[in-house]
Chains A and B, each alone.
Chain A
Amino acid sequence: MSTRSVVPFGPHHPVLPEPIHIDLVLEDEKVVEAVPSIGFVHRGLEKLVEKKDFNEMVFVAERTCGICSYMHGMSYCAAVEHVMGVEIPERAKYLRTVWCELSRLHSHLLWLGLLADGFGFESLFMQAWRLREKILDMSEASTGGRLISSVNKIGGQRKDVDNAMLHSFVETLNQLEPEIRTMVRTFLEDSAVRSRLDGVGVLSKEKAHDLGAVGPFLRASGIPFDIRTTGYLAYGDIDFEPVTSSEGDSYARTAVRINEIFQSIDIIRQVVAKIPDGDVAVPVKGFPKGEYMMRVEQPRGEALYYVKANGTKFLERMRIRTPTFANIPPMLEMLKGCQLADVPMMVLTIDPCISCTER
């Protein structure tokens, strides 16, 4: 019988931009158990509801995570709007959809770059990030911020984007699409890349369901579950189908995210074609009272925002359940039985966002 040894992975690890620590229990090179320890990025921002009023909390919510920042701010605002019974204008809903999809685009391109860096393909990493900058330019042109936009407020948006600019975005995306297609061909077809992804970290459909995986991680295991299909914001008027794959390995997860890039571009096209004219915000008076649970589909999966308000300017409770938090148990299951050398790749393929998870 081989002896067991423990290899620490993280918190500072070259493939991880963020700190997470996993103790890998090995038998020879095979991982038999993975024990995570988290808390390196824990700030305790949910507790800030006691110190910052419900309008200021929008900025805190946006800083839950710098990558899906827009969606965090948007979901918090949407939750508080539901509590207050505020119906935001149609144009604001459509604009929110555009920004949500832009942030999904930049997040997926960012992840493709990190994946390439993870298997040591540096020029591919650079290519993915070069294309991502063009998405960030659009965010900056429309919101003023590259990552943290702060255009959300309770009752709508702080800024309007004129239709000419929206059409120029579609124009840019039309030019960008063939470039992205050229770039992703390397991920999907290159034999060296495929040798690192094919059959690595398989998560079966049953396990993915039972352990509560979310987002592309779940969809790559063959379950077509996408919160956007519930039709929040303008998604109800948009024609799209959840992207799935049946293999459940690292390659499937890469393919799902790549297809979602093109899906997002398509959604932006549809939204810009349908966007109505009008105001982007309604005046909001009074303080929230009641509770609401908001579910949104972030780039990494389903996020859940819970707010409870008691009629004062401070909320009683805010709770965020982020997608990576849900994805950690299936990830640990997936790590069992894999080779030590594949661990960094497998951790990357769930697209971990630790600052979301630990809040």
Chain B
Amino acid sequence: MKMSKSPWLLHYDGSSCNGCDIEVLAATTPVYDVERFGVVNTGNPKHADIFLITGGVNDQNKEVVKQLYDQMPDPKVVVAIGICACDGGIFKECYNILGGADKVIPVDIYVPGCAARPEAIIDGVVKAVALLDQKREQMKAAESAEGGAEHD
């Protein structure tokens, strides 16, 4: 079963201005409707396959971001939404911003924009879905190689 048939999203607002968060939500509503790809927005990291993070990270929220990432089952894909999540954006020089989301967790896909448009977010999610299948295949291959070694 391909995972790309129904990837679930988890969204967390790092320290974004809200613009990208609202666009992420807008991407799930009728006009843009990312749900037609089988994507469901979930609030539970343990159900999620794709982690959408908006905004840069700071000292207060970096543990939260890490925990959410760790709670997600493998395979998982992280999409950084908006320029702040990519590298800090306009707030890069603020004293409380460590930088983009990749300072704390590994990011697979970067969606630029301020605020990132829903079309761009959908594009990022579609790319993430393809990557999810790829990661799943790699996991399977690694598992069977491991299993094979045990039998020998």
Interface residues of A (CB under 8 A from B): 11-15, 17-19, 39-45, 47-48, 51-52, 59-60, 63-67, 69, 110, 113, 125-126, 129-130, 132-133, 136, 146-148, 353-356
Nearest CB to that of A62 among chain B residues? B17
| Inter-subunit contact B13/A60 (CB<8 Å) | no
Chain B interface size range: 35 or more
Check A45–B30 contact: CB distance below 8 A: no
Residues of A within 8 A of B29 (CB): 113, 125-126, 129-130, 133
Q: What are 12 A-B residue pairs whose CB atoms fall within 8 Å in the complex?
A: A11-B64, A12-B43, A14-B42, A17-B21, A41-B55, A42-B58, A42-B60, A43-B15, A45-B94, A63-B91, A67-B19, A125-B29
Q: Is the CB of B30 within 8 A of A41?
A: no
Q: Given the complex of chains A and B, what is the CA–CA distance between A67 and B115 in angstroms?
A: 11
CB–CB A66/B19 < 8 A: yes
Q: CB distance B20 to A40 under 8 Å?
A: no
In whole angstroms, what is the CA distance A110 to B23 when docked? 11
Q: Contacts A40-B15, A41-B61 given: A18-B68 contact, CB under 8 Å?
A: no
Assess A133 versus B91: contact at CB under 8 Å? Given A17-B13, A41-B13, A355-B18: no
Q: Indicate if the CB atoms of A66 and B94 lie closer than 8 Å.
A: no
A14→B44 contact, CB < 8 A: yes
**B residues less than 8 Å from A69 (CB atoms):** 17, 19
B64 touches A43 (CB 8 A): no
Within 8 Å of chain A (Cβ to Cβ): is B146? no
Q: Cβ of B4 < 8 Å from any Cβ of A? A: no
Chain A proximity of B50: nearest CB distance (Å):
16
Q: Are the CB atoms of A148 and B64 closer together than 8 Å?
A: no
Enumerate chain A residues within 8 angstroms of B19, measured Cβ to Cβ: 63, 66-67, 69, 147-148
Which residue of A18, A67, A146 contacts B117 across the interface (Cβ within 8 Å)?
A146
Q: Name B27-48 residues within 8 Å CB distance of A.
A: 29-31, 42-45
A40 touches B114 (CB 8 A): no
Nearest-Cβ distance from residue A15 to partner chain B, whole angstroms: 8
Residues of A within 8 A of B56 (CB): 43
Chain B contact residues: over half helix, strand or loop, or mixed?
A: loop
A14 to B93, CA, bound (A): 31
Report whether A18 and B64 are in contact in the complex, using a CB–CB cutoff of 8 Å. Answer: no
Q: Which of B21, B61, B93, B117 contacts A11 (CB 8 A)?
A: B61
CB distance A129 to B115 under 8 Å? no
Supposing A47-B95, A65-B17 touch, asked if A13 and B64 sit within 8 A by C-beta, the answer is no
Query: B17's contact among A11, A64, A129, by CB below 8 Å, is which?
Result: A64
CA distance A232 to B12 in the complex (A): 37
What residues of chain B lie closer than 8 Å to A356, measured between beta carbons? 18
Which residue of chain A is the closest to B16 with respect to CB atoms? A355
**Contact yes or no, B20 A66, CB < 8 A:** yes
Contact B115 A66, beta carbon cutoff 8 Å? yes
The answer for the CA separation of A345 and B20 in the assembled complex, in Å, is 23
A24 to B47, CA, bound (A): 26
Q: Which of B1-25 contact A (CB under 8 A)?
A: 11-23, 25
Say yes or no: B25 contacts A17, CB within 8 Å: yes
- B residues in contact with A148, CB < 8 Å: 17, 19, 114-115
The answer on a CB contact under 8 Å between B44 and A130 is no
In the complex, the answer to whether A42 meets B15 with C-beta atoms within 8 Å is yes
Contact partners of A126 in chain B: CB under 8 A: 29-30
Give A318 Cβ to nearest chain B Cβ, in Å. Answer: 13
Give the chain A neighbours of B126 by CB distance below 8 A: none
B96 touches A66 (CB 8 A): no
Roughly how many angstroms separate A129 CA and B27 CA in the complex, as a whole number?
A: 10
Residues of B within 8 A of A67 (CB): 18-19, 22
Q: Are the CB atoms of A48 and B21 closer together than 8 Å?
A: no
Q: Which of A40, A48, A147 contacts B115 (CB 8 A)?
A: A147
Given contacts A11-B61, A43-B91, A44-B95, contact A66 B16 (CB under 8 A): yes
A355 touching B94 by the CB < 8 A rule? no
Report how far A132 CA is from B44 CA in the complex, Å.
27
Q: Chain B contacts of A59 at CB under 8 A?
A: 90
B114 x A63 contact (CB < 8 A): yes
The minimal Cβ–Cβ distance linking A109 to chain B, given in whole angstroms, is 11
